[in-house]
């Protein structure tokens, strides 16, 4: 009897440990936390800046560096040097900035302020997606191309500013750009914090942006989705009431299948595949999803979504967040999808790897859609 009780107790304890681990991992997916701040150790008169070494600060492409409580943005040139102390790297400012040594900042993929895209500040507009008013930046186009609207959708743990790179990439084409926010991203002033629904409710705000574009003169719309923003763009293009206006998609480091991305993330962290399956189940089942704070169970399938409009994917095999193999599989399964593989780089850093190539690829692809017709 004692042995039986001990075995039973062990099983209960083991089950509780698995349940706790599953809950922790599921919460990490829908309540993601930002990485640690970047330490600004030293600022030299030469314009060199000594930073803490992270995957992003070691990345040799162009970088943004938020400082002064993340209220200001400096730009770091491409190129990095590692000091004898491997925990520090040296980057060089592209232009003077009043950084202070011994403070904290945050390395960022974005290198633009809202006023840097066309040379004049954007119009601030609000879009009603049925949940709340979501702020957006509007850059009006010029000439025949202005009736083509390009709607830029940022990813998780990023604000609208992270999508300014693609807005800058298309600015010279004369198209109208709308850089949007969506429920749960923290951009709306009245919003309270909540879990991400991994695009399964948020896409309605992208569809509302398409409707906004139509009311304001758009004759066709191209959606540019970064990371999670790609999930929103795919859903809006396939299921949105305004989808008829969407003529194409540009997806950057896209999360095409959240189930595959969760499994990939677990693999990167050397966690067992069965724990990934339990995490996906917890997010998908009515009872556990409610306990996690979701308003509805999530539909998380390893199957690839469908797409019925021409789609350009810009992605890199260096991505450790959204698996490149999924982009490759998606392109192979859909004749409408073109995959442009960039040199290996961190997640959503393809523009930073080669801004000129990124801009040329997107503009060339948009031109093939006949936006001037």
- 216 shares its domain with 354: yes
- Distances, alpha carbon 209 to alpha carbons 158, 159, 256, in Å: 19, 16, 21
Start-to-end C-alpha separation, the chain: 82
- 64 shares its domain with 89: yes
64 occurs within a structural domain: yes
Residue 212: which domain range? 114-256+304-368
Tell me which of 108, 131, 158 is where a domain ends.
108
Taking the C-alpha atoms of residue 311 and residue 108, their distance in angstroms, rounded to an integer, is: 26
- 124 shares its domain with 209: yes
- 213 shares its domain with 339: yes
Q: What is the mean pLDDT of the chain?
A: 93
pLDDT computed for residue 12 by the predictor: 42
Number of structural domains found in the chain: 2
Average pLDDT over residues 109-136: 95
pLDDT computed for residue 19 by the predictor: 82
pTM, full prediction: 0.93
pLDDT computed for residue 4 by the predictor: 44
Task: Name the band, by pLDDT with cuts 50, 70 and 90, for residue 82.
Answer: confident
- 315 shares its domain with 349: yes
Tell me which of 108, 130, 148 is where a domain ends.
108
Residue 276 has pLDDT above 70, yes or no: yes
33 occurs within a structural domain: no
Residue 163 has pLDDT above 70, yes or no: yes
Q: What are phi and psi of 128, to 5 degrees?
A: -95, 110
pLDDT computed for residue 370 by the predictor: 65
pLDDT computed for residue 86 by the predictor: 86
Residues 6+ apart with CB under 8 A from 108: 63, 64, 65, 66, 73, 162
- 187 shares its domain with 159: yes
163 occurs within a structural domain: yes
Tell me which of 108, 125, 141 is where a domain ends.
108
128 forms beta bridges with 133
Taking the C-alpha atoms of residue 332 and residue 337, their distance in angstroms, rounded to an integer, is: 8
- 72 shares its domain with 89: yes
Q: Are strands 103-108 and 337-342 parallel, antiparallel or unpaired?
A: unpaired
Residue 296 has pLDDT above 60, yes or no: yes
């Amino acid at each position: 009897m004692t042995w039986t009780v001990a075995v039973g107790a062990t099983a209960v304890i083991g089950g509780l440990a698995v349940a706790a681990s599953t809950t922790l991992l599921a919460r990490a997916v829908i309540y993601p936390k930002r990485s640690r701040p970047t330490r600004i150790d030293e600022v030299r008169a030469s314009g060199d800046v000594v930073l803490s070494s992270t995957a992003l600060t070691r990345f040799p492409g162009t970088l943004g560096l938020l400082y002064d409580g993340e209220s200001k943005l400096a730009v770091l040139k491409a190129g990095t040097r590692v000091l004898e102390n491997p925990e520090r790297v040296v980057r060089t400012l592209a232009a003077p900035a009043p950084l202070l040594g011994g403070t904290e900042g945050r390395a960022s993929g974005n290198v633009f302020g809202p006023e840097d895209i066309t040379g004049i500040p954007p119009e601030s507009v609000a879009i009603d997606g049925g949940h709340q008013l979501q702020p957006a930046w509007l850059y009006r186009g010029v000439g025949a191309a202005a009736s083509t609207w390009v709607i830029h959708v940022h990813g998780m743990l990023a604000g609208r500013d992270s999508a300014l790179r693609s807005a800058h990439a298309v600015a010279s084409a004369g198209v109208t750009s709308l850089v949007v926010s969506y429920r749960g991203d923290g951009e709306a002033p009245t919003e309270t914090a909540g879990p991400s629904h991994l695009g399964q409710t948020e896409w309605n705000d992208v569809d509302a942006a398409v409707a906004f574009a139509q009311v304001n003169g758009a004759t066709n719309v191209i959606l540019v989705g970064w990371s999670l923003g790609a999930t929103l763009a795919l859903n809006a293009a396939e299921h949105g009431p305004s989808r008829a206006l969407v003529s194409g998609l540009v997806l950057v480091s896209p999360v095409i299948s959240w189930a595959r991305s969760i499994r990939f993330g677990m693999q990167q962290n050397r966690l067992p595949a069965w724990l990934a399956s339990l995490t996906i189940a917890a997010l998908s089942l009515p009872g556990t999803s409610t306990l996690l704070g979701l308003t509805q169970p999530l539909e998380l399938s390893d199957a690839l979504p469908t797409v019925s409009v021409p789609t350009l994917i810009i992605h890199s095999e260096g991505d450790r967040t959204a698996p490149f193999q999924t982009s490759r599989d998606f392109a192979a399964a859909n004749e409408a999808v073109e995959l442009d593989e960039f040199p290996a780089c961190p997640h959503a850093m393809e523009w930073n790897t080669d801004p000129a190539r990124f801009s040329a690829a997107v503009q060339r692809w948009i031109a093939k859609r006949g936006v001037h017709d």
